């Protein structure tokens, strides 16, 4: 170990210098010549032979081999890491999710003295100023940072770089869109003087696969992070390393356990916006400023009650800590009663729309107890989730619009086809042509009715699926109330009103969709 070439740290530092000099993280992507990876791997090879139990060294070696293009050899090194530690995050993520998680040398370098964001990372800066999780590299080690555009009113403040900073993180799993709410507080120490910058990270956003959940899990396992605010040109105006204390790490462990038990949700862009809007309504800016002012004064988060029914970290085996190929779904059991039916009064005889509503209620309570579940969410939370479920029906507004506009066209085409068909089979005369047109109209009306019934059945199956998958968190009554009260906001417009009336007829037998 006295020879520097056999020292693990010296070998890693030498390999990182080769990578930093030879890899370009440019605007068009990453330019990494295989010769650079081969040179770095040669530097690390001897150190790995002398230190086979150094898993960090072996992980860096695997990244260098992968950069040289020898992917099979890199996977062999990652397998050797898992043979010694089955829960080693980088090895698990890259082996289980090779398309979503790549080695650390494909992340731009960063340090506390950095003054510019790499061109590759500059593309990730959002003009809205929201903070986003970003994978950077400190030496040979990955670090998931919070990167965002500096607000215009703060960019000109000469004291920005010296401002005190604190982070407040909240993981929301009992909504239709699971997400991490990130709030950065600058300045203080009084709540009125705290400057707020937000970020919202959805674990499974549309189009990015599993990458975002891996980023979130890695972020929550770190003991520190960087908060980086930059101009659109890439110039850094705020670069602060924030270390998570023991209380923060404990909260993050709870977040990870809750994330494992959370069901994947449909997180299209409109539903994300609805979830964020509802969260900001429930958590006003003054409350956030007060929480961040506390952190700025105390240096840690205020105590909060522990989450119920969480298994201790020591109770989970290494295999259970492995990252699932698809996000884990909390299994339902026969002991978990579903949503109870409505009470009070004698139910009318099911027929027509009332029969549909009764069918949905029976589907919601199939196999369940009449009593509410012990873990049922409170009414306010149930209302919030129901409103988000209604907001998730916005694709059906397009179907409603297409059906409404397509029916007249279908009838006209059917009338023309009927008239043409009769005219071709007999001597052309006005009465026969009119009879053919009327026959075509009748066929068109029948076809339109069949299409409307098909849409009705598809919507019914969708709603039944929502009720069943919610595990009792959404009921027929709460969904109907959300359609009446919040429907005009999340399903606006003429066609949204038509869909709300259809939904309410299905749920309650009434089409009072509200104003």
Which one, of 57, 228, 64, 54, lies nearest residue 135 by Cα? 228
Task: Assess whether pLDDT exceeds 70 at residue 199.
Answer: yes
Answer yes or no: are the C-beta atoms of 385 and 377 closer than 8 Å: yes
The 10s digit of each residue's pLDDT in 149-191 is 888 888 888 888 888 888 989 888 765 567 888 999 988 778 8
**Mean pLDDT computed over 27-47:** 86
Selected residue with higher pLDDT from 55 and 6: 55
The 10s digit of each residue's pLDDT in 266-288 is 556 667 777 787 788 778 888 88
Radius of gyration of the chain (CA): 29
The 10s digit of each residue's pLDDT in 78-96 is 998 998 988 899 888 888 8
Binned at pLDDT 50, 70 and 90, residue 60 comes out as: very high
| pLDDT at residue number 177 | 63
29: left (phi over 0), alpha (psi -120 to 50) or beta: left
| pLDDT at residue number 209 | 53
| pLDDT at residue number 407 | 77
Tell me how far CA of residue 14 lies from CA of 6, 21, 428, in angstroms. Answer: 12, 11, 93
d(C-alpha 278, C-alpha 33), whole Å? 48
**Mean pLDDT computed over 39-55:** 89
Task: Assess whether pLDDT exceeds 60 at residue 385.
Answer: yes
Lowest mean pLDDT among 3-12, 105-114, 212-221: 3-12
Binned at pLDDT 50, 70 and 90, residue 1 comes out as: very low
| pLDDT at residue number 18 | 92
| pLDDT at residue number 146 | 92
| pLDDT at residue number 5 | 52
Binned at pLDDT 50, 70 and 90, residue 225 comes out as: very high
**Mean pLDDT computed over 316-320:** 44
| pLDDT at residue number 376 | 55
Task: Assess whether pLDDT exceeds 80 at residue 56.
Answer: yes
Task: Assess whether pLDDT exceeds 70 at residue 326.
Answer: no
Selected residue with higher pLDDT from 379 and 374: 379
Binned at pLDDT 50, 70 and 90, residue 349 comes out as: very low
Tell me how far CA of residue 121 lies from CA of 33, 222, 230, 449, in angstroms. Answer: 20, 20, 11, 54
Count the neighbouring beta carbons within 10 Å of the beta carbon of residue 357: 22
Q: Which residues pair with 185 in a beta bridge?
A: 166, 196
d(C-alpha 413, C-alpha 444), whole Å? 8
Buried b vs exposed e over 244-259: b needs ≥16 C-beta within 10 Å? beeebeebbebbbbbb
**Mean pLDDT computed over 224-250:** 89
**Mean pLDDT computed over 418-438:** 73
Lowest mean pLDDT among 116-120, 320-324, 397-401: 320-324
Task: For 288-311, give the DSSP string.
Answer: HHHHHHHHHHHSSPPP-PPPTTPP
**Mean pLDDT computed over 19-40:** 85
**Mean pLDDT computed over 434-445:** 80
Contacts 24+ apart (CB under 8 A), 428-435: none
**Mean pLDDT computed over 189-194:** 84
Answer yes or no: are the C-beta atoms of 129 and 144 closer than 8 Å: no
**Mean pLDDT computed over 204-231:** 79
Lowest mean pLDDT among 63-77, 225-239, 445-459: 445-459
Sign of the Cα pseudo-torsion (210, 211, 216, 219, in order): positive
Collapsed DSSP state (helix, strand, coil) of residue 426 = coil
Q: Please give the angle made by the CA atoms of 206, 208 and 212, to the nearest 5 degrees.
A: 105
pLDDT averaged over the chain? 74
Task: Assess whether pLDDT exceeds 90 at residue 387.
Answer: no
Binned at pLDDT 50, 70 and 90, residue 59 comes out as: very high
Binned at pLDDT 50, 70 and 90, residue 2 comes out as: very low
**Mean pLDDT computed over 311-335:** 40
């Amino acid at each position: 170990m006295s020879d520097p070439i056999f020292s693990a740290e010296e070998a890693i530092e030498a390999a990182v210098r080769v990578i930093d000099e030879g890899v370009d993280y440019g605007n068009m992507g990453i330019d990494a010549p295989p010769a650079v990876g081969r040179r770095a791997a040669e530097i690390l090879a001897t150190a790995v032979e002398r230190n086979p139990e150094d898993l960090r060294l072996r992980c860096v070696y695997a990244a260098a081999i992968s950069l040289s293009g020898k992917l099979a050899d890199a996977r062999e090194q990652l397998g050797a890491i898992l043979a010694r530690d089955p829960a080693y995050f980088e090895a698990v993520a890259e082996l289980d999710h090779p398309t979503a998680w790549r080695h650390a040398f494909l992340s731009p370098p960063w340090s506390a003295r950095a003054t510019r964001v790499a061109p590759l990372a500059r593309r990730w800066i959002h003009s809205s100023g929201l903070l986003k999780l970003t994978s950077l590299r400190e030496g040979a080690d990955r670090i998931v940072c919070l990167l965002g555009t500096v607000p215009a009113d703060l960019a000109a403040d000469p004291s920005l770089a010296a401002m005190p900073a604190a982070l407040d993180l909240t993981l929301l799993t009992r909504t239709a869109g699971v997400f991490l709410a990130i709030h950065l507080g600058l300045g203080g120490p009084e709540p009125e003087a705290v400057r707020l910058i937000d970020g919202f990270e959805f674990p499974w956003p549309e189009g990015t696969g599993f990458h975002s959940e891996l980023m979130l899990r890695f972020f929550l396992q770190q003991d520190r992070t960087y908060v980086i605010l930059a101009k659109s040109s890439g110039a850094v105006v705020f670069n602060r390393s924030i270390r998570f204390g023991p209380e923060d790490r404990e909260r993050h462990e709870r977040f990870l356990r809750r994330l494992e038990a959370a069901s994947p949700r449909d997180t299209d862009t409109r539903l994300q916006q609805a979830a964020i809007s509802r969260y900001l309504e429930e958590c006003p800016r003054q409350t956030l400023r007060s929480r961040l002012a506390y952190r700025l004064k105390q240096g840690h988060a205020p105590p909060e009650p522990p989450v119920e029914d969480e298994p201790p970290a020591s109770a989970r085996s290494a295999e259970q800590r492995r990252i699932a190929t698809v996000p884990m779904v909390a299994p339902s059991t026969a002991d978990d009663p579903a949503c109870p039916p409505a009470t009070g009064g004698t139910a009318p005889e099911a027929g027509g729309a009332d029969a549909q509503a009764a069918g949905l209620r029976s589907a919601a309570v199939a196999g369940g107890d009449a009593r509410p579940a012990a873990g049922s969410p409170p009414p306010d939370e149930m209302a919030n989730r129901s409103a988000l479920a209604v907001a998730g029906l916005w694709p059906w507004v397009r179907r409603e619009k297409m059906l409404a506009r397509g029916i007249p066209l279908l009838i006209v085409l059917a009338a023309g086809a009927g008239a043409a068909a009769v005219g071709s089979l007999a001597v052309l005369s006005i009465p026969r042509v009119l009879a053919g047109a009327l026959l075509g109209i009748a066929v068109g009306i029948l076809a339109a009715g069949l299409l409307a019934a098909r849409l009705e059945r598809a919507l019914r199956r969708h709603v039944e699926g929502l009720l069943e998958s919610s595990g009792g968190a959404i009921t027929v009554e709460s969904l109907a109330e959300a359609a009446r009260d919040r429907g005009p906001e999340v399903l606006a417009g003429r066609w949204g009103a038509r869909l709300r009336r259809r939904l309410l007829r299905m749920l309650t037998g009434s089409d009072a969709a509200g104003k």
